[in-house]
């Protein structure tokens, strides 16, 4: 089963992707993780990507797809995989489809985790992080025992710049402009499945299995 996860930043698609990966015993593939692994291992593709990243440039779609295809060609992907974080745009999706066809492969499902913008803004702007130990909290949903102090190490908690309300709104604007059209793209292919991202996390796996099985 080959699956693409779609959803706005903060929608919870990464959490749900990990659940499906565990259930079906298939790899959860994050493009960020692939980039880091290739760069760490000094692969040719990784060094090419690093060249762009060191200049503050986006890695070209063609190179990103090459790195992705190299990963999905691995033995552990024979029974399927879940792509998290790619594609983000229609051109990326088209390049991915074309290259998968050459491999005799295709995507089976695209799962859209649907969450209203106001819920995402609340989720992300309420996050607090400990820079010392990496622990994360939420002022409403997972508050620390002492306000502003990490439960684990006692260091000060901060709001990351990425989680500031205005930053989140800007990220959502980019998402709606660039990534949301993928919903129509995969709907047109007849492989789109939608699930709500506002329910209880404990019910998330069953919600997804209901549209997959």
Q: Do the domain assignments include residue 194?
A: yes
Residue 32 has pLDDT above 90, yes or no: no
CA gap 186, 83 in Å, rounded:
14
- Which pLDDT belongs to residue 117? 94
Selected catalytic residue, list 2, 16, 66, 127: 127
Q: Do the domain assignments include residue 158?
A: no
Selected catalytic residue, list 50, 88, 169, 193: 88
Q: Is 88 a catalytic residue?
A: yes
Q: Measured between alpha carbons, how far is residue 71 from residues 27, 65, 77, 158 in Å?
A: 10, 10, 8, 35
Q: How many Cβ atoms are within 10 Å of 106's Cβ, its own excluded?
A: 11
Q: What is the CATH number of the domain that holds 103?
A: 3.40.50.300
DSSP H/E element including 18:
helix 13-24
Q: Is 16 a catalytic residue?
A: no
Record the pTM: 0.82
Q: Do the domain assignments include residue 7?
A: yes
Task: Kindly compute the dihedral angle of the four CA atoms of residues 58, 61, 67, 70, in this order, to the nearest 10 degrees.
Answer: 180
Residue 159 has pLDDT above 80, yes or no: yes
| 174-208 pLDDT per residue, tens | 889 888 899 999 999 999 999 999 988 889 999 99
Residue 213 has pLDDT above 80, yes or no: no
Q: Do the domain assignments include residue 126?
A: no
When pLDDT is averaged across residues 49-75 and rounded to a whole number, the result is 87
Among candidate residues 167, 183, 178, 213, the one with its CA nearest the CA of residue 10: 167
Q: Do the domain assignments include residue 12?
A: yes
pLDDT band at 10 (very low <50, low <70, confident <90, very high): confident
Q: Do the domain assignments include residue 100?
A: yes
| 120-131 pLDDT per residue, tens | 999 899 999 999
Task: Kindly compute the dihedral angle of the four CA atoms of residues 42, 95, 186, 122, in this order, to the nearest 10 degrees.
Answer: 40
Which residues, 6 or more positions from 195, have their beta carbon under 8 angstroms from its beta carbon? Answer: 16, 111, 112, 113, 114, 204, 207, 208, 211
Q: Is 171 a catalytic residue?
A: yes
Residues 65/88, Cβ–Cβ less than 8 Å = no
Selected catalytic residue, list 66, 71, 128, 171: 171
Selected catalytic residue, list 13, 66, 71, 123: 13
Q: Is 36 a catalytic residue?
A: no
**Domains of the chain: total:** 1
Q: Do the domain assignments include residue 19?
A: yes
Selected catalytic residue, list 78, 132, 160, 189: 160
Domain extent, residue 44, equals 2-115+167-212
Q: Is 13 a catalytic residue?
A: yes
Q: Do the domain assignments include residue 130?
A: no
């Amino acid at each position: 089963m080959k699956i693409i996860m779609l959803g706005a930043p903060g929608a919870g698609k990464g959490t749900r992707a990990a659940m499906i990966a565990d259930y079906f015993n298939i790899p959860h593939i994050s493009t960020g993780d692939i980039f880091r692994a290739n760069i760490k291992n000094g692969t040719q593709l990784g060094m090419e990507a690093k060249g762009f990243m060191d200049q503050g440039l986006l890695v070209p779609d063609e190179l990103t797809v090459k790195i992705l295809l190299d990963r999905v060609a691995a033995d552990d992907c024979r029974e399927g995989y879940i792509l998290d974080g790619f594609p983000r745009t229609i051109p990326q999706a088209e390049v991915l489809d074309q290259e998968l066809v050459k491999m005799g492969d295709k995507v089976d499902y695209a799962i859209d985790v649907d969450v209203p913008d106001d819920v995402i803004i609340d989720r992300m702007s309420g996050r607090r992080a400990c820079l010392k130990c990496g622990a994360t909290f939420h002022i409403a949903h997972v508050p620390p025992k002492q306000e502003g102090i990490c439960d684990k190490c006692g260091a000060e908690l901060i709001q990351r710049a990425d989680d500031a309300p205005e930053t989140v709104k800007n990220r959502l604007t980019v998402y709606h402009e660039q990534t949301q059209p993928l919903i129509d793209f995969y709907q047109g292919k007849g492989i789109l499945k939608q699930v709500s991202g506002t329910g209880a996390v404990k019910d998330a796996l069953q919600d997804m299995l209901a549209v997959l099985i």
